[in-house]
Each structure stands twice: as structure tokens, then as C-alpha cells.
């Protein structure tokens, strides 16, 4: 990630790097210079119809004046960003002092520019003309005051511009930091949720195999091989946020086959044909808690047969995954367990409200249904953009 703040710049000035600060102030001062030169030229052209008295300094002297003032302006704005505006009782007098000091040197800068550009004679003629008009001695204070009043608004407008841009950049940088922290937090949260799943699944399967060992050791050995395959897939899926739907269904198939071998007289499993499975990506291990619930709660409370069905289809730009199981006739729905809560939380983190899990009972059946946007390609391959391409988006 690119650097978003400069450690040497405190508070308001943190939003601007030195290069940005110099560029903004330089462009603003260039605009002020051109405006003042054009204004003086226009006024000079208008007054020339009435008198040829030199009332406005030549353009080169005015440009030089602004060049001389630029370092003072940079120092004043830089100091102003450090001073800030809190507390007001202290900050406001300091800010006014900075602006006043800058405006105070504008007239001396003009005199220096006139001498530098070879216009000292013009200055003497100008002062003589003022003296003749008002029947007074040359009064440098009046000229200084006029210059002071002229440059104070310019300073204020520039300060507002620099401070506003600094605050905007600081706000934008804060938003970038918050977004980065949210992504890291989401990744850590998903990792923790997957850590919840793995021990839970393993614990249930080990109990299944233990029960099988007592009366069918060879069958238990075969189940251990299946469990090893399941664990390899579990570890692989636990390291990834998304997998192909076909791989997710294969993982569910391995788990259900292990359970079916233990409860062969009661458990029937129906899974979709691999040829009919949509070519989309889904969150890894998203079906596993629902499949476990279907087996455990379907078999509980009665001795009759249980049918567990898993289906997957697309509807518009959404994917619908459904896991259902038959239950005892008199069984009532209880509160959501760890598995259901886990799935809901993962969907909320990974899809930000665009996916949902619903559960309900219907005619001695318990149905869990996930609805989520279609993800047409591997999200991991596009992690740099931090967004998966959604079909129809």
C-alpha cells in the first residue's frame, strides 16, 4: 500500500505531503499574481484616459513583489497548519498574527521589487503625484495600509484553500486506513470461523469411526482412509475463502458417506448429479455445518429412516443451496446452534448483506437454504481488486 501520511507533518498537515503543499500554494499564488497584474493593467488603461500620472507599479515590479512574498507565504501557511484552530482562544490570535505579518511585508516587498527592477524613479514620481493631489507630504504609511488591506483577503482565501484540501486529504487517508483495517479484520474473523468448523467436524467423525470399530474393524479401516481424504480437503478448504461449488459438494459427499456407512439401515443421502452442478464459486465449508445438522438432528428423537437431500441451482444472478432432512413427526424446531450461527456470520462477512440463510420446517422436514450472489470466477485471483465479479452486476 502506498504511504498515506508523512510522519513529520502533525495534525492538519498530515493530510498533505510537502510536495503537495508546495504545489497547491504555488498554483494559488500564481493565480493571485496573474489576477493582480491584470487588475493593475486594466485600471492603468482606464485611468490613462484621464491622466498619465503613474498610479500603478509596472507589471514586472508586481511580479517580482509576488515572487519575494512567496517564501513568506509558504512559511505562514506551514506554520498555520501546525498551529491549527484549537483551542480558539489561543489559535485565533496566532492565526491572525500570521496573516497580519504576511500582509505587513507586502508593501516593503513592493519597494524592494521596484528598486530591483530599476523602477525607483517611478516610485519617487508616484509619491510626488500623491503629494500634489492631496497637498500633503509623502505618507508611506497610507501606502502600506492600502497594501495591507489588499493582501489580507488574499492570505485568508489561500489559507482556507490549503486547510480545506489538507482536511479532505486527511479524511480520505483515514478512510483508506479504516478500509484496510476492515479487510484485515474480516480476514481474521473468517479464519476464526473456519477454525471453529474443523474441530467440530473432526470430533463428530471420530465418534462415528469409534462406533464402527467395535463390530467391523475392516470397515473402520476403510473409513479411516476416507477420513484422511476428508481431512486433506478440510485443511485445503480451511486455507481458502472460496472454492468451486463442485468441490464443496464433494466434501459434503465424503462426510455423508462416512455417516451413511454407520447408519446404513436408517440414513439415505441424495446429492445432485455432478453434471448438473453450476460452475460457480462459494465460501469454503459453507455447506458442512448444514449437512452435519441435517444428519445429527434428523436422526435424533426417533428410530425411523432419515433422508438427507442436498441441492444446488441458480436463479437469476443468485445461487440457491438447500439442505433438507426428514425429522420425527412430533419434533419442534429449536434455537439455532453453533453451525447455523456460524454460516450466517460468514455470509454476513463475505457478502455484506447480499446473502442470507433461512431455516424452516415443512411436513416433517427441516430445510436450510442459502441464497447468495453468483461468483463466476475465482475471487482469490482477483484479490488485488478486493471484489469478485458478480454475474449480472
DSSP labels for 70-118? HHHHHHHHHHHHHH-S-SHHHHHHHHHHHHHHHHHTHHHHHHHHHHHTT
| CA distances (Å), origin 96, targets 77, 90, 147, 250 | 12, 11, 17, 73
Does residue 393 surpass a pLDDT of 50?
no
Q: What is the pLDDT of residue 238?
A: 61
Phi/psi region, residue 98 (left: phi>0; alpha: psi -120 to 50; beta: rest), is: alpha
Distance CA 219, CA 215 (A): 9
Q: Which pLDDT value is given to residue 388?
A: 42
Q: What is residue 388's DSSP assignment? A: P
pLDDT of residue 310: 95
pLDDT at residue 309, rounded to an integer: 95
Question: So what's the pLDDT on residue 12?
Answer: 54
Q: Which of 95-99, 227-231, 279-283 has the lowest mean pLDDT?
A: 227-231
Dist. CA 94–CA 88, nearest whole Å: 10
The mean per-residue pLDDT over the stretch 192-196 comes to 58
Confidence (pLDDT) at 175 = 83
Residue 87, preceding peptide bond in cis (omega within 30° of 0): yes
Q: How many residues does the chain have?
A: 393
Report pLDDT digits (tens) over 323-347. Answer: 999 987 776 655 666 778 888 888 8
pLDDT of residue 101: 93
Q: What is the pLDDT of residues 1-30, one digit of tens each?
A: 344 344 444 455 556 788 888 999 999 999
Q: What is the pTM of this model?
A: 0.52
> How confident is the model at residue 190, as a pLDDT?
60
- Choosing among 3.40.50.720, 3.40.640.10, 3.30.565.10, 3.90.870.10, the CATH entry for 216-382 is 3.30.565.10
Bridge partners (DSSP) of residue 243 are: 282
Pairing state of beta strands 356-361 and 365-373? Answer: antiparallel
Query: Domain residues of the chain, as ranges?
Result: 11-179, 216-382
Q: What is the pLDDT of residue 226?
A: 84
pLDDT digits (tens, 9 = 90+) for 133-178: 334 344 567 778 888 888 999 999 999 999 888 888 888 888 888 8
Block residue for cell numbers 477454525: 195
pLDDT grade for 50, boundaries at 50, 70 and 90: low
CA quadruple 367, 372, 374, 380: dihedral positive or negative?
A: negative
The rounded mean pLDDT for the chain is 78
Amino acid at each position: 500500500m502506498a504511504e498515506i501520511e508523512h510522519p513529520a507533518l502533525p495534525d492538519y498537515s498530515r493530510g498533505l505531503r510537502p510536495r503537495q503543499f508546495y504545489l497547491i500554494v504555488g498554483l494559488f499564488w500564481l493565480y493571485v499574481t496573474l489576477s493582480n497584474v491584470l487588475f493593475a493593467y486594466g485600471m492603468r488603461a482606464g485611468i490613462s484616459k484621464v491622466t498619465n500620472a503613474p498610479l500603478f507599479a509596472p507589471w514586472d515590479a508586481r511580479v517580482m513583489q509576488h515572487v519575494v512574498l512567496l517564501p513568506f507565504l509558504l512559511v505562514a501557511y506551514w506554520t498555520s497548519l501546525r498551529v491549527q484552530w484549537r483551542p480558539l482562544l489561543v489559535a485565533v490570535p496566532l492565526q491572525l498574527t500570521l496573516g497580519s505579518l504576511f500582509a505587513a511585508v507586502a508593501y516593503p516587498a513592493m519597494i524592494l521589487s521596484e528598486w530591483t527592477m530599476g523602477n525607483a524613479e517611478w516610485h519617487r514620481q508616484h509619491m510626488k503625484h500623491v503629494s500634489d493631489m492631496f497637498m500633503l507630504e509623502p505618507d508611506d504609511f497610507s501606502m502600506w495600509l492600502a497594501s495591507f488591506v489588499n493582501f489580507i483577503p488574499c492570505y485568508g482565501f489561500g489559507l482556507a484553500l490549503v486547510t480545506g484540501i489538507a482536511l479532505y486529504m486527511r479524511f480520505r487517508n483515514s478512510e483508506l486506513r479504516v478500509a484496510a483495517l476492515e479487510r484485515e479484520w474480516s480476514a481474521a474473523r473468517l479464519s476464526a470461523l473456519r477454525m471453529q468448523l474443523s474441530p467440530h467436524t473432526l470430533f463428530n467423525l471420530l465418534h462415528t469411526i469409534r462406533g464402527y470399530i467395535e463390530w467391523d474393524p475392516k470397515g473402520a479401516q476403510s473409513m479411516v482412509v476416507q477420513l484422511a481424504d476428508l481431512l486433506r480437503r478440510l485443511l485445503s478448504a480451511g486455507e481458502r475463502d472460496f472454492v468451486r461449488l463442485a468441490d464443496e459438494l464433494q466434501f459434503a459427499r465424503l462426510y455423508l458417506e462416512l455417516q451413511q456407512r454407520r447408519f446404513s439401515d436408517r440414513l439415505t443421502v441424495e446429492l445432485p448429479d455432478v453434471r448438473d452442478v453450476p460452475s460457480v464459486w462459494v465460501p469454503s465449508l459453507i455447506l458442512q455445518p448444514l449437512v452435519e445438522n441435517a444428519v445429527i438432528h434428523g436422526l435424533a428423537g426417533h428410530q425411523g429412516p432419515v433422508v438427507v437431500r442436498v441441492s444446488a441451482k441458480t436463479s437469476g444472478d443468485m445461487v440457491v443451496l438447500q439442505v433438507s432432512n426428514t425429522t420425527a413427526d412430533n419434533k419442534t424446531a429449536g434455537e439455532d446452534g453453533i453451525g447455523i450461527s456460524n454460516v450466517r456470520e460468514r455470509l454476513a462477512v463475505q457478502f455484506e448483506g447480499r446473502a442470507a440463510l433461512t431455516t424452516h420446517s415443512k411436513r416433517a422436514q427441516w430445510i436450510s437454504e442459502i441464497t447468495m450472489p453468483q461468483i463466476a470466477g475465482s475471487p482469490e485471483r482477483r484479490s488485488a481488486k478486493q471484489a469478485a465479479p458478480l454475474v449480472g452486476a
